[in-house]
Structure 1
Amino acid sequence: MLARAAGAADAGGGQERTRSRGRRRLTIGAAGAAVLAVAIAAVAGVRLLQPSPAPAPPLAVTAVAAAADPADGAGHCPAATITLRATVTTNGAPGTLTYEWLRPDGGAASTGRVALRRGDRTATVQLPLAYSGAAAVQGVAALHVLSPAGVYSRPLRVTYACP
């Protein structure tokens, strides 16, 4: 009977060792899950604490260059068309350019708009001036960018004459 009692005690000790191993595995697994949860929370916290990126700057005009075609801005009887072209350079931000041409007769052409997408750095606008008949015209023309800021091109001399 002693042998049996010793065997029974041995069997009970084996179960206790198995339970101990199971508890250790469970404890190690729980600790690993806790470490993983803390790491995820730390990464999420760092992301939440980082400042959000600064908003993109608004559309801005950096230059305006204008030219006439023909280059001297001169036309002759009996009819001529002088085309004014301007290139507006921007910072590449999205937005809308609003502009008007100041005509050589002192008036303003109708207002125009150009929609720019992010990355668009230039916009070209033009105004054809058609003349005919014997009435002479002489004056200066320019592009006036109304928005995003009041900017003017250099003045362009325009003449239409009948010799």
Structure 2
Amino acid sequence: MNAPHDRRPASAGEDDDQYSATVLGSQWIQRPGPDEPGATLVDTTPLSPAAPTVLRFGPGVTAALTHGLPAGVAAPRPPERPRRGPRRHALPALVLIAAVLFVLWRQGPVVPLSVREVTVTAERGTVGCGETAVVAAVVHTNGRSGTLTYRWVRNDGTSSGVLRTDVENGQRSTRLRLLWSFEGEGRYSAVARLRILSPGSGTADVRFFYDCPLSPDPARP
């Protein structure tokens, strides 16, 4: 009976007494390779039809999920999200700009309120004893909105304080009024003057008469 041959792999030195063996599973068999007979290990584990290969798509797929892909098949790339740039806001912005330009075009250039002409008239040329004179003024403007500031001045030495009135857009004339009361006997030449303080400056006046005859003296024969 022949003695069994020692099949331990050759080590780097003849003096090595110990070596470690690698335990292979039963599914691995040794097949001869083209250059080194008996040096190729092949996995013979059959593929289970109940465990199909799962391919996952989308963001977050790691290399571990695509480990089971067949050789030569590249892992699918996640679909690219559409880029939201400034173009999606371009059309609404253009529509808004066009609307603003249209409104400005309809309104025309922004022009402040200005006074073009001032006229003052008296309701009556002569008022009698104890009556009140009505003086009216018309201020013609350019039709823009704003505030008129003015003052009435009388030739008897009195004047009003600074008065104000608002003018609406599209309003081209504004009416102002002064009431001047008289009493006593005599005849008086009255002058009422309107002074525009803003915008700009201007004046206009009117003359009328107060006439209250003297009562007869009962002591005269």
Could you say whether these structures have the same fold, taking a TM-score greater than 0.5 normalized by the shorter chain as the test?
yes
- 1:5-34: CA deviations, max 9, x gaps? xxxxxxxxxxxxxxxxxxxxxxxxxxxxxx
Q: Does 1:131 align with 2:182?
A: yes
Question: For the residues of structure 2 that align with 1:138 and 1:109, how far apart are their CA atoms?
Answer: 19
In structure 1, the gaps of 5 or more residues are 1-36
Q: Percent identity?
A: 31
Please, what TM-score do these two structures have when normalized by structure 2? 0.47
When you count helix as a share of all residues, which structure comes out higher? 1
* Alpha-carbon distance in 2 for matches of 1:56, 1:106: 41
Distance 1:67 1:113 in 2: 20
Matched, 1:61 2:115: yes
Larger relative contact order, structure 1 or 2 (CA cutoff 8 Å, min sep 6): 1
Partner of 2:148: 97
Alpha-carbon distance in structure 1 between the residues aligned to 2:191 and 2:167: 28
Corresponding residue SS for 1:132: coil
Cα gap change, 1:102/1:94 in structure 2, threshold over 3 Å: closer, same or farther?
same
CA distance in 1, matches of 2:142, 2:210: 37
Partner in structure 2 of residue 144 of structure 1 = 195
Deviation at 1:116, TM superposition (A): 1.1
Contact 1:65 1:86 in 2 (8 A): yes
Aligned length: 123
Q: Which residue of 2 aligns with 1:117?
A: 168
- Report the Cα distance in structure 2 between the residues aligned to 1:140 and 1:64, rounded to whole angstroms: 16
State the SS of the aligned residue for 2:185: coil
The amino acid that maps onto 1:122 is S
TM-superposed CA distance for 1:160, in Å, is 1.4
Q: Which residue number corresponds to residue 128 of structure 2?
A: 76
Match of 2:157 in 1: 106
* CA shift for structure 1 position 138: 2.0
In structure 1, the residue matched to 2:212 is: 162
Structure 1: 4+ residue segments shifted above 6 A? none
More strand, by proportion? 1
Higher mean C-alpha deviation, range 132-141 or range 89-98: 132-141
In structure 2, list runs of 5 or more residues that go unmatched: 1-86, 214-221
Report if aligned partners of 2:193, 2:203 keep a CA contact under 8 Å in 1: yes
Determine the structure 1 residue equivalent to 2:94.
44
Determine if contact 2:190/2:210 at 8 Å carries over to the other structure. Answer: no
State the SS of the aligned residue for 2:197: strand
